[in-house]
Amino acid sequence: MHRLSIIIILLYLLSTAVYIAYFFFQKKMTREGGYSFLLAGFIVHSGMLGYAFIMAGALPASNLSENLSIVAWAVAGVFLLLRYKFDLKILGVYAAPLAALTLITASQLPNHPPEAVNLFKSFWLTVHVIAIFIGEAAFALACGVGIFYLMQEHAIKNKKHGFFYKRLPSLDLLDSTGYACIVVGFILLTLGLISGFIYAKSIWGRFWSWDTKEVWSIISWLVYVALLHQRLTVGWRGRRAAIMAIIGFCALLFTFFGVNFLLKGHHDTFTKF
Nearer to other proteins by Cβ, of 193 and 241: the residue is 241
Q: Give me the least distance between CB of 86 and other proteins, in Å please.
A: 10
Q: Based on CB atoms, which residue is closest to other proteins, 83 or 237?
A: 237
Neighbouring C-beta atoms of residue 170, cutoff 10 Å? 11
* Residue 234 CB, nearest approach to other proteins (Å): 7
Taking the complex as a whole, how short is the minimal distance between the CB of residue 172 and other proteins, in angstroms?
A: 4
Residues that bind other proteins (CB under 8 A): 152, 156-157, 159, 161, 165, 169-173, 234-240
What minimum distance in Å lies between the beta carbon of 156 and other proteins? Answer: 6
Q: Where does the chain have alpha helices with state H?
A: 2-25, 28-56, 64-85, 92-108, 123-157, 163-167, 171-204, 212-234, 239-253, 259-262, 268-271
CA distance 189 to 272: 21
CB-wise, 165 or 197, nearer to other proteins?
A: 165
- Closest C-alpha among 21, 34, 68, 28 to residue 49: 68
**What letter does residue 114 receive in the DSSP assignment?**
P
DSSP codes, 193-236: HHHHHHHHHHHHS-S----HHHHHHHHHHHHHHHHHHHHHHH--
Minimum distance of other proteins from residue 239's CB (angstroms): 5
Spell 190-228 as b/e; 16+ CB within 10 A means b. ebbbebbbbbbeeeeeeeeeebbbbebbeebbebbeebb
Closest CA to 185 of 137, 127, 247: 137
As measured in angstroms, the least distance from the Cβ of 162 to other proteins is: 9
Q: Least distance to other proteins from the beta carbon of 189, Å?
A: 25
Compare residues 59 and 180 and give the one whose CB is closer to other proteins.
180
**Residue 49 or 147 with smaller CB distance to other proteins:** 147
CB-wise, 45 or 231, nearer to other proteins? Answer: 231
* 68 versus 246: smaller Cβ distance to other proteins: 246
Q: What does the radius of gyration of the chain's CA atoms come to, in whole angstroms?
A: 19
Q: Give how far the C-alpha of residue 254 lies from the chain's centroid of Cα atoms, to the nearest Å.
A: 14
